[in-house]
Chain A
Amino acid sequence: MFSSDLAYASRFDEDNWGSPPSYLSLNNPVIQHPWKLSTDTDSLHMDFILIAEFSELEGPKPVITIPKDGAGLFDISEFAVRIMSVDQATAVSGGFQMTEDSQVILSEKSKCVYAFVHHFVLFDKQARGYVRPFAVSYVTNDQRKLMCCYEELSSHLKKVARYFKYGNRMVFKNEVDRYLMDLEYTKAQELPHYRTVLNNTQANTGVTEKELLQNLKTLESVITEVKTILDTICATMTDKRLEQRFARLEENFKVKTDQQKQKSDLANSLRDLEGPDIPLTQICGLYGAGKENESLMFFNSHNYKPKRIQITGSRKFDLHLRGLHELCSWGFKDGIQKLKEMHRHFQQDLCVLEVERVETYSLDPLSGVLMFGTSFVACNFMNDVDKLCVGSCCSIQRSRAIPNRQLSRWSSNDTLESYKSAASSFRSLPDMEDSESLVSVSSIDGSFSSYSGKDFRRSSEDGLESVQTSDTEATSFSSDFSFISRQDGSLSSIDKTLLNENPESLFSKLHSASNPNATSLNKSPINNIPLVHGRNLLHLESSTTEPVENPACRGCKVVQCNVGCPGQTMCTCSWSSGETVTPSADIEDFKLNADGSAGSAKKEHLDTPSESKQGKCDIRNGCPMNTEGLGCQEDFEQLSLQHQSSHLSFKDPSDSTNQQVDESNTDSSPAFCSPMKVTGSLSTSKESLNSAQGIYKLLNNYNNMHHVIYSLLTGRPVIVIATASFEKDVKEIVRALQHFLPNNPRCPGGANPNCCLTWLSHIPKITDLGGMKLVGVCRPEKKPMDRFITPAFKRFVTILDVDRRLLLSPMYQGSFLTLLISKKKSFKFESDALLAYVKGLLSEISSKAFIFFHLFCLGGAGTYASGYSLHARSKSFQQTVVAFLTRLGALDSDAVIIQYLAEVIKHQHIENHYYTTSNTGVPVRPLLLRNQNCQTFKC
């Protein structure tokens, strides 16, 4: 969902003003609403932004539209009149005043045009009353968009107006300053002249004494007026940050254009900025009026040479009015930039905006986001976790370390019949034989009852009883391995849904926005149309108009997991969004899911009929099913089977029929849900196609790539080495591998921009390896491999020698990546489906890491190790981890991957903590040396 550019933008664009990343846009080409298209030529084709002005010469007129031809056939002049006719009530009484901005929503129902208008006033020395009323409006034909996004639109337009106004004020102040200097100078010149005239009455200079006196008086009054204006202006100019920003812009500009003529270049640079969006006619004339250096905001008044000016009683207003860019200088640049971003964002369909809003929410905190590559957000580990809740739970856990107590507690609870057996089977687990490890496993007891109020909100739609876990229904949460819920003594009756903050409304919105036909495609046994389907539809819509877009790669955005139980609304089991997310709640949800064995949950990509040729990509994710094990389900053996059955399946396009919901999965395959939303990256189709092809090429041209991917997923740096002739191959390999690289470039403090480098001329230093995880390196022809890389270095990195097609890497022994490799051929014609598959795979892995993180790392077992010596403690801890992960269905190498992903989140959080709270620096990222042998593979 996030383009790579944007991913960096929030970190490097210091102009973020502390707000959450505002535009996580789907860099989609404009998607027109297929069934909203009206035949009326007057109506809008797309949303656009209009800046209009009430010109003192011409009256209301449009100034700029974004995008340039956004208005289409729509008569913007007329609309400008409409906009500007809203009287700003600028009752100018008592001279110069600052006017407050105002925001209005205008609707032109006849034409189905609606606008969010922000009125503001700029100052212009040459204008009447020094003011130039402007209005920037967001024009759309979707009224609901304005209503739903009112707050956002309002705040963004305020921000834009702030740029304009502040830039304008600085320019205006400079002008007035200069004007004042001129006036003072003139006064100084006039006074002696006046005296000479007084003394020398005989000489007839043609100017009478009276006239001179009048002139001087006028001069004096003008000076007073100007001083008042300056005072008023200066009082409002308090935003040092903006000033610094503008200063920096100007500094950069000055440096850049040192040799060139400043003025013309400024004009050019501003013109560049404006881009093609602004009609040339509007630009023409804008740049002519500026005097030397006038456009520069930070001019040095000491260098200004005041001149004598004519003072007449009345000012002339026949001058050409200056353009917006001259009025606002750098503020204009920023404002327009902001408007463009804003347009890019808000032009999207309302349902996209809604989805994005929800997903943006899940980006908080950034340090909890697990990303792969530059754009694929797999999971947010820390979003909206009820800190107090979990904290208290942990503290209880810490204080209780006696397993027996926990077990007896279980058995004493008569409502938990099923858990007795769970407890016993828990005991009988082979790896739990050791009493000591049992201690470590179950020491996390901490059962807390009565999570009241804020925690679990479960709601269900369609009048199903809404169950609110509260004091009356104590939820006892025990251990990071096990979770117990008491709900009227019967678990099967639990029927609730963990929903997003306001799921109904979101759902209905999405639903209403979706095509009824498309909705009917869902032959889901579930009464309600799952939220996900609604989301899918959103893409279906877009796909219909953009047939080039492949559904599968689009779908990757939607790869989202549902929890299904009979009679239960499917929902986005969004661990990361929604206020209820505590590990306990999640687990409970999983358990529910497990209980509803007949229920189905699916994660799928639907295709519209129009895309039938592209087939269907059905990605099933069975992973978190395994968390049943955590939830003390009775049958552990079955569970372990389910571990095995955890799979991602890809159906060959040829044999799949489209527009069908896979109903078969209700009977045989286990229900599943993924504890996350997969916020897939949806950059431009071309980009994703490229990366998809890159991965396809990598997997099919080189063997044993899963070992390399394994290295990436376990934090072992991968060095791709080749001689210069293979540069292209190396770059391709690195770019393809990058998709597997856990990396969060947005995380403050922890981000390393050099995490992945495609082509280096030298081998990186060992000290760089902490941050550098994937590097392409050029090996000099004459230097053999063995001498190029030192033994010490070899121990830390995985080496892919492209020349000799050799790979030196730890061996991967697990199931996740083996699946990927075994499936690689299936995607011959669907390389972008491969990308979706990869993302599904990564999100599955991440989901396990999520569970591991919340249930283990944040639980008591995460900090407990028996033994005294380093060895004993390490061993005991490792045993606990392995025991946990085994139950999670992650064995061998998979367990290592999950551990590392959890570590990544921990690092991000710790780094972020130190970055924000201490000035000593951020802890070093470690290099890992796992005790495993590197092997040489042919690739």
Chain B
Amino acid sequence: MVFPGDFPEMKVKVEEIEGDQILNPFTEVLILQQHSDIIRQLHPVGDKRCVSIGDDNLAVVWDIQLCLKLFVLSGHTRPITSLLLLRSNANYSDSDWLLTGSSDKTIKVWDLDTGKCLQTMTEHGASVKCLLSINDDLFLSAGQSLHLWSGAGKLLDCYHRTEKEIEDINLMIHVCGQTDRVVTASGKQIGVYQVNTTTDDVVIVTGDIAFVKNLPSHLEAIRSLTNLSDQCFASGSLDGTIVIWSCQTFLPTYKFNTVDSYQGKDHLYPYSIQHVLCLEERFLLAAIGSGFGLFDITTRKLICEKACAHFSKILHMTFVCDGAYLATCSEDGSIRLWGHAPHLNSSGTEDKSDMDLRPIERFLDISCDQLRHHKDVLPAPVLIGECLAHSGAVQMVVDCGLEGMLSCGVDGLVIAWKNAELQAMKRNQIIQEQFLNPSGIV
């Protein structure tokens, strides 16, 4: 499939939404300020909290229900590049741990309940670019080299890559094959590594990383690496191609969206794959330049697409409201919500049947059975709403279920997009709890 137009002079006009956004559920906006520089990532921690990391060397833990700042995790001396959440493990601790990797060559472990730094690991020795947990008691840090750590923070092994491999590993996924294998992306290159461990009872005693092989490389830098299922994973690159790889053979099984003149005008790479999202191990949603496309992996077909969804490249996507909408955030500073046009005869009864729907069905407004028999490409999703508040590129958008969604941007803001009614309801609850029953005695 080829997207029309040459970026940035698009032939297809970018839609703009005017007036009422009746379907836009995000009617309450809470702006969380703390960061003073670009926020790179945002990760929900459980239902109530989330962590943002930024170039201002800080990680901030937020309460997303009430939207207040819980802790500011400061200690790194260089921008934080990656974070990893280690679920509470009876072996080590009661509370959740947060690991942050930074360009200052250290990894810090934080207690999420107290906001205290528990440990600083300096053995990585180079700028940390990404962190990946393999099971709950093992994690990897990568950058120029790969380091394997036990959950308790003990260095088990390190693998130094060859001189040729100049580019740092910036993406890493754990693929579930027969053994623990890790797929890394550095520049155009995809590498596969094997992680072996020996355990004494339940405690990991030793572990090592072994290089398995390099996969055929993309034409341009890889921007996205995603697990699709136990069988395959996908990589998306600046050149516009999405490759589906088998986890067993590590051979490409299918290529989507190959474009010839992928560089476009002025080397802007208008088809670059910024983000790949997988649904139900079957549907693959990819941000392609300023548009997005939904593919069926099993049938290898395009289900629907929206070219020129934004004025600029889409950086991240997520489904919100149980799949009813797709939220895309872009360099143009907006978050847009996509879904299907409302039914004219919508009534309250729809809600009940709606409950049984799968997210993808809700999004496409078509049941999976119908989808199977559907030959043609479905109509493009409709622009439901636009969430404007960031004053720069929106880096990430995260779904928080009934709490709405969160976004972070280069303007250093975390913005919570919520539904005013639900918020009012929640406040009623808080008031009832706090005000009417301060003692807790009923």
Contact = CB atoms under 8 A, between A and B. Distances in A.
Contacts of B431: 857-858, 906, 909-910
Interface in A884-939: 899, 902-903, 906-907, 909-910, 913-914, 920-933
A792 B335 CA distance: 11
A897 B261 CA distance: 56
B427 A906 contact: yes
A920 B69 contact: yes
16 contacts: A388-B441, A395-B437, A858-B428, A863-B429, A870-B321, A870-B402, A874-B25, A874-B419, A874-B421, A906-B428, A906-B431, A910-B427, A914-B68, A926-B30, A931-B24, A932-B20
Nearest to A436: B348
Interface in B402-442: 402, 404, 413, 418-425, 427-432, 434-438, 441-442
Given A875-B421, A926-B29, 9 more contacts: A395-B442, A767-B413, A870-B401, A875-B351, A878-B421, A903-B424, A909-B435, A910-B430, A929-B26
A347 B57 CA distance: 60
A869 interface: yes
Nearest to A913: B434
A430 interface: no
Q: Which of B71, B351, B354 has the most CB of A within 10 A?
A: B351
Q: Which 3 A-B pairs have the closest CB atoms?
A: A391-B436, A862-B428, A792-B388
Contact of A865 (B31, B324, B401, B422): B422
Contact of A909 (B67, B434, B442): B434
Contacts of A868: 322, 351, 354-355
Nearest to B333: A792
Q: Give the size category of B's interface with A.
A: 35 or more
A841 to B, nearest CB: 24
B424 A391 contact: no
A852 to B, nearest CB: 11
Contact of B321 (A871, A899, A924): A871
Nearest to A873: B422
A850 to B, nearest CB: 14
Contacts of B441: 388
B404 A910 contact: no
A382 B391 contact: no
A857 to B, nearest CB: 5
Contacts of A872: 351, 354
A779 B29 CA distance: 26
A400 to B, nearest CB: 14
Contacts of B351: 866-869, 872, 875
A279 interface: no
B19 interface: yes
Contacts of A795: 388
A903 B427 contact: yes
A902 B420 CA distance: 13
B404 A870 contact: yes
A881 interface: yes
A930 B333 CA distance: 20
A790 B22 CA distance: 22
A387 interface: yes
Contacts of B24: 929, 931
Interface in B20-73: 20-22, 24-33, 63, 66-71
B435 A382 contact: yes
Interface string B177-207: 0000000000000000000000000000000
Interface of B is mostly: mixed
A766 B388 CA distance: 10
B29 A927 contact: yes
A390 B334 CA distance: 44
A929 B27 contact: yes
B389 interface: yes
A868 B33 CA distance: 31
A791 interface: yes
A392 interface: yes
Interface in A723-747: none
A394 B28 contact: no
Contacts of A857: 424, 427-428, 431
Contacts of B427: 857, 903, 906-907, 910
Contacts, number: 174
Given A767-B413, A931-B20, A870 B422 contact: yes
Contact of A924 (B68, B348, B420, B425): B68
A770 interface: yes
Given A865-B425, A913-B434, A931 B27 contact: yes
Interface of A: 382, 385, 387-388, 390-392, 394-395, 434, 436, 766-767, 770, 790-792, 795-796, 856-858, 862-875, 877-878, 881, 899, 902-903, 906-907, 909-910, 913-914, 920-933
Given A791-B388, A930-B27, A877 B436 contact: no
B31 A766 contact: yes
Given A387-B436, A910-B431, A928 B68 contact: no
Nearest to B424: A903
Contacts of A899: 424
Contact of A869 (B68, B348, B354, B442): B354
A792 B389 contact: yes
B25 to A, nearest CB: 6
A663 B23 CA distance: 52
Nearest to A435: B348
Contact of B423 (A391, A434, A926): A926
Contact of B33 (A392, A767, A863, A909): A767
Contacts of A873: 402, 421-422, 425
B272 to A, nearest CB: 25
B30 A766 contact: no
A874 B355 CA distance: 15
B129 to A, nearest CB: 31
Nearest to A792: B388
Contacts of A436: 348
Given A921-B68, A931-B22, A770 B438 contact: no
Nearest to B435: A909
A924 B25 contact: no
B68 A877 contact: no
Contacts of B419: 870, 874
Contacts of A387: 435-438
Contacts of B423: 926
Nearest to A399: B442
Contacts of B66: 910, 914, 923
A284 B434 CA distance: 58
B422 A924 contact: no
A466 B194 CA distance: 86
Given A870-B321, A920-B70, A877 B31 contact: no
A858 B404 CA distance: 24
Residue from B21, B334, B435, B442 having most chain A Cβ neighbours under 10 A:
B435
Nearest to B21: A931
Contacts of A395: 437, 442
A94 B315 CA distance: 86
Chain B CB count within 10 A is highest, among A796, A907, A928, A929, for A929
A920 to B, nearest CB: 5
A792 B27 CA distance: 14
A926 B423 CA distance: 10
Nearest to A877: B421
A920 B32 CA distance: 13
Contacts of A767: 31, 33, 413
Contact of A870 (B19, B25, B437, B438): B25
A645 to B, nearest CB: 29
Contact of B434 (A902, A910, A931): A910
Nearest to B323: A869
Contacts of A913: 434
Given A382-B435, A387-B436, A923-B66, A869 B428 contact: no
Interface string B307-343: 0000000000000011010000000011000000000
Contacts of A390: 436
B355 A871 contact: no
